[in-house]
Amino acid sequence: MSRSSNEFFVGYLKTPPKLAVFLTVVSVLLVGLGIGGGFALLAGQPDYGDGGFKGGYKEHLGVLQAAPYPMLRLPPDEAHPDGRTILLSNPGKRGAQKRAAKHDGQIVDVGGVFITREGTRLLQVGGAAKIRPAKEPESIQGFVPAADVPLGPVTLRGEIVDTKCYLGAMRPGEGKVHRACANLCLMGGIPPMLAVFHENEAPTLLLLTNAAGEAFDAEILDYVAPYVSVEGELFRRGDLLMLRTDASRIGFL
């Protein structure tokens, strides 16, 4: 009987040369496949824009308005003839309503870090100032924020998002995969917005309120993430667009 020339693996013996070569080739191929698959997944991800925390900590002087959601109103300037309106939030999934209510209508210093996407900004309040009565209010002492400007009835199509995550606190901060997170943010007081998408242009973002111009209640949660049609009345507050509507005027597409 002749001895078999087939190599056989035995755990406590040295790996046969042919088997070692085979295992090396297979291992390299598997690693390469894993790396290639990872790059393919990255390449296939949608573009979530340039959103994120930007600019570092800064303090801003303006008039605080607590309704419908906390916001800081800044006087007009050359670049912003209608004035600026900056939405505010607390860190995490919490709105700044409690902190802002103490200073409603006052000239305040607000410190924090901007979350910015395609020109739209939200200020996450924090740092040394947070929200406090202004130390030097003289420069805007006579500033009275203009009333909301009505722009008429509209019907718009888009996605209802929570402002903070959509602007870059999360990536992705939109779509069905983000729905649970978005609803937690909205329940915590983060302002809802309607993102209206355009081909080859940045989305138009509109702050959503109920028909009376007040903060939305839990009814809006059912419409977060899917593509929807929204009927309502359009207003402008400074450089911020606001859409007044109610759940009965929101429909799935």
Residue 32 in any domain: the answer is no
Q: Are the C-beta atoms of 155 and 230 separated by less than 8 Å?
A: yes
DSSP one-letter code for 83 = -
- Cβ-in-10-Å burial (0-12, 13-18, 19+) of 16 comes to middle
Token pair, residue 185, equals 């943010």
Please compute the mean of the pLDDT values over residues 75-90 and round it to a whole number: 95
Total structural domains within the chain: 2
Residue 223 in any domain: the answer is yes
- pLDDT computed for residue 50 by the predictor: 81
Q: Does 238 lie in the same domain as 215?
A: yes
Is residue 17 pLDDT above 90, yes or no? no
Residue 46 in any domain: the answer is no
Share of the chain above pLDDT 70, in %: 93
Please compute the mean of the pLDDT values over residues 210-235 and round it to a whole number: 96
Contacts of 170 (CB under 8 A, 6+ apart): 178, 181
Residue 38 in any domain: the answer is no
The structure's pTM equals 0.83
* Range(s) of the domain holding residue 196: 149-252
Of 140, 167, 195, which one is at a domain's C-terminal end?
140
Average pLDDT across the chain, whole number:
92
CATH classification at residue 113: 2.40.50
Residue 186 in any domain: the answer is yes
Q: Does 178 lie in the same domain as 109?
A: no
Contacts of 225 (CB under 8 A, 6+ apart): 159, 160, 174, 175, 176, 178, 179, 182
Residue 29 in any domain: the answer is no
pLDDT bucket at 5, cuts 50 / 70 / 90: low
Radius of gyration of the chain (CA): 27
Only one residue has tokens 């977060």, namely 224
Of 83, 117, 140, which one is at a domain's C-terminal end?
140
Is residue 6 pLDDT above 90, yes or no? no
Residue 222 in any domain: the answer is yes
Q: Does 166 lie in the same domain as 96?
A: no
Greater model confidence, 60 or 171: 60
Of 96, 118, 140, which one is at a domain's C-terminal end?
140
Count CB atoms within 10 A of the CB of residue 178: 20
Q: Does 154 lie in the same domain as 133?
A: no
Residue 219 in any domain: the answer is yes
- pLDDT computed for residue 143 by the predictor: 96
Please compute the mean of the pLDDT values over residues 46-57 and round it to a whole number: 83
- pLDDT computed for residue 18 by the predictor: 84
Please compute the mean of the pLDDT values over residues 122-132 and round it to a whole number: 95
Q: Does 111 lie in the same domain as 161?
A: no
Token pair, residue 218, equals 């839990």
Token pair, residue 112, equals 């924090």
Q: Does 128 lie in the same domain as 200?
A: no
Q: Are the C-beta atoms of 195 and 159 separated by less than 8 Å?
A: yes
- pLDDT computed for residue 2 by the predictor: 52
pLDDT bucket at 12, cuts 50 / 70 / 90: confident
Q: Does 94 lie in the same domain as 115?
A: yes
